[in-house]
Amino acid sequence: MELPASASIIIALSTSLAGIGFVGWQLRKILGYDPGNEAMRAIAAAIQEGATAFLTREYQVLAIFVIIVATVISTFLQWQTALCFVVGAIASGGAGYLGMYVAVRANVRTAAAASHGLHKGLRIAFGSGAIMGMSVVSFSLIGMTLLYLVFNSNPNQLIYITGFGFGASSIALFARVGGGIYTKAADVGADLVGKVEKGIPEDDPRNPAVIADNVGDNVGDVAGMGADLFESYSGSIIAAATLGATLSSDSSAAFVGLPFLVAAVGVIASLFGIFMVIGKNQDTTQMSGQTTNLSQTATSSSRIGAYFMHFVAKIDENATLEDLLTALRRSIWGASVVVLGLSLIAVLVSGVSINYWLVILVGLIAGNAIAYATEYFTSYTEKPTLAIAKATQTGAATTIIQGLAVGMMSTVLPVLITAVAILLSIWLGHRADGTITAGLYAVALAGVGMLSTLGVTLATDAYGPVADNAGGIAEMSHLPAEVRHRTDALDSLGNTTAATGKGFAIGSAVLTALALLAAYVTAAKIDNLNILGPTMLPGILIGAMMPYLFSALTMMAVGKAAHEIVLEVRRQFHEIPGLMEGTGQPDYKACVGISTESALREMILPGSLAVVVPLLIGHMLGKEALAGLLIGTMSSGFLLAVMMANSGGAWDNAKKWIETGQYGGKGSDAHKAAVVGDTVGDPFKDTSGPSLNILIKLMSIVSLVFATSFGSGLLNF
């Protein structure tokens, strides 16, 4: 007996409401912590003001874009799709704004908590990241499930809901590009003048760009990353449900509902994983006493509480980076185990083949494997990053060469892992239902499985900027050295988890894009794809070029904006009396304003390309050429994104390794070379690389939404 899709939808809606409940509870808890002394609160207020101002301005620009596109969709397609587009844009923007709202308030509370211990700082920073993670999955599920129920009686309901993915993708691209340009312009400008020219420490309050840098961490790596994965999460479910509808004559069949059901169990699993980090820490002696009492006088509730406390991370003051990484790894692995158990039940009650549970297992393993591979190439406890640190001894040129080589080498494992996951998924799906469509549905379901633990996975990523900001606040408010030591440990962990999150985002983007491509081919009624056809190869070549054009535009945008920041910071050091000595007051708002205006101006062209190019190719060269475009973009975008993200992460952590005292430590020639490498890597890992994830997904979802409007093209061969 098959479980109706409507039942799965209601279950998904219920768990997403539970996720919203957790978000509200955790938000109140975070805001209840001590925000520190007056100096700390003043710095935090400046960061909050800058972040809010930028996101407000950005959303005003995006509102115009959303209105224009919604009008076009309503005119040429259906008003229902336009409505879903608007809802997807609002849900994505709302999740990003909420995540940033709490991040710019958790940073000062993390710095204050770090005064009392490493684990207390970790709990607040990670707890704020958990709000971002659970907001993304909950807002996405609530939006899609409500729209599904609204259009439940319409046979085109899944076509309409593709508009939700389009709206999410649009916001994601502009948020990622705009936020990435902002954060890296400020970061590069602050580093080049502050560290390299003036020789002052990172986050030094004398640096006029330091507040803009801290603001950028939040708008780029919290709001931007949240929107990115909101889009992946939504797109994977939409693609799987759309393909699932083609496996049965009844559009409400279990194949449509299963992706929603897997997402639902993922919400529960993510809450368990989050608890493993933010649960109240207890020392070993106390834990031992509780364990003994379990067999004696403990009540049933205390037994359960004591049992679960064994899963909570226990971090002491001597914790190494590996200890901290292990604590976060355990949370993700724990959530993955819970997903496997609950998704087995979901598959059984859905009445589909057990092979689809194995597909979910493939997705989870692939996601964790890609994350581990990324961690290996970017962590300063591993050989690749240590090799970059060693190369700094002979100057900036060898640092750049070694970093590029590490980035290129790091593409091998993610590609092989993804290829194996795709092959296994197609094989399992084909064995289950005997059609190639079932195999493609299995690929989409593997993507849903990979992203099912997004609530906790994104928490480990969004945590990073909070820890980074906490270090800056500790430095600028002159807290004791041991506090900065703790925030530096949390920041180093954040650098690694951020790099891991980017690898995870890239891998999930490929599976999502492939599933969307399959859904597009089905919707456009393309019978076969002949690579030797007159339009296919040109389509593939143009698609392969797109990530390079897009990356060039975003890199140049960062360069232009950073140039303006550098000139402004130099001007202030030259014209403000006593600034270098610490008696003058820098004009932070000037740099915040430059970053804001530059980011908003420069994000328009690369963001528009992702929407315009698929429409042009589809109408001029035809639907087959557009399929080739998507294949080319996905292939080259995957490799380029991995290379750029991992090079940037490795350069950053090589610098962090030297700052621990290696090769002369801060101020040494090796450190100066490392700073140059990190500066080059900044737009690699935080602007261009992550934005490529969204490029390949947005182009795919645009093609799917407009699939029925494409024919053989104006240039008919």
Residue 33 belongs to what domain range? 5-267+294-709
What burial class does residue 288 get, using C-beta atoms within 10 Å of its C-beta: 0-12 exposed, 13-18 middle, 19+ buried?
Answer: exposed
Q: pLDDT at residue 35 above 70?
A: yes
Model pTM greater than 0.85?
no
- Dihedral sign for Cα atoms in the order 149, 153, 156, 160: negative
Q: To the nearest 10°, the Cα dihedral for 622, 637, 220, 62?
A: 0
Mean pLDDT, rounded, for 4-32: 89
Confirm whether 336 is domain-assigned: yes
223: in domain: yes
Average pLDDT over residues 501-521: 80
- Residue 289: its pLDDT value, please? 37
Residue 375 in domain: yes
Number of folded domains in the chain? 1
**Do 9 and 264 contact (CB within 8 A), yes or no?**
no
Determine the average pLDDT of the residues in 706-716. 75
Lowest model confidence (mean pLDDT) among 99-113, 290-304, 518-532 = 290-304
Position 295 scores a pLDDT of 40
Residue 293: pLDDT band (50, 70, 90) is very low
Tally Cβ neighbours within 10 Å of residue 385: 29
In a domain, 670, yes or no: yes
In a domain, 278, yes or no: no
Query: Please, are residues 71 and 82 in contact by the beta-carbon 8 Å criterion?
Result: yes
Identify the band that residue 144 occupies on the pLDDT scale cut at 50, 70 and 90. very high
Q: Are 673 and 659 in contact (CB under 8 A)?
A: no
Measured CA to CA, the distance from residue 209 to residue 193 in angstroms comes to: 9
Cβ partners under 8 Å of residue 644, min gap 6: 407, 551, 684, 685, 688, 689, 692
For every residue of 368-434, DSSP letters joined together read HHHHHHHHHHH-TTSHHHHHHHHHGGG-HHHHHHHHHHHHHHTTHHHHHHHHHHHHHHHHHHHHHHS
**Is residue 559 in some structural domain?**
yes
Token readout for 286 is 């106390």
Task: Please check whether residue 561 is in contact with residue 598, taking contact to mean a CB–CB distance below 8 angstroms.
Answer: yes
The rounded distance, in Å, linking the Cα atoms of 589 and 46 is: 9
How confident is the model over 663-680, as pLDDT tens digits?
A: 888 888 899 899 889 888
* 274 lies in some domain: no
**What pLDDT does residue 467 have?**
83
**Would you say residue 275 lies in a domain?**
no
Nearest to 645 by CA among 403, 476, 432, 449: 403
End-to-end CA distance of the chain: 49
632 with 542: CB under 8 angstroms?
Answer: yes
Both tokens of 182, joined, read: 């902002």
Q: What DSSP state is assigned to residue 665?
A: -
| Per-residue confidence (pLDDT) for residue 640, from 0 to 100 | 94
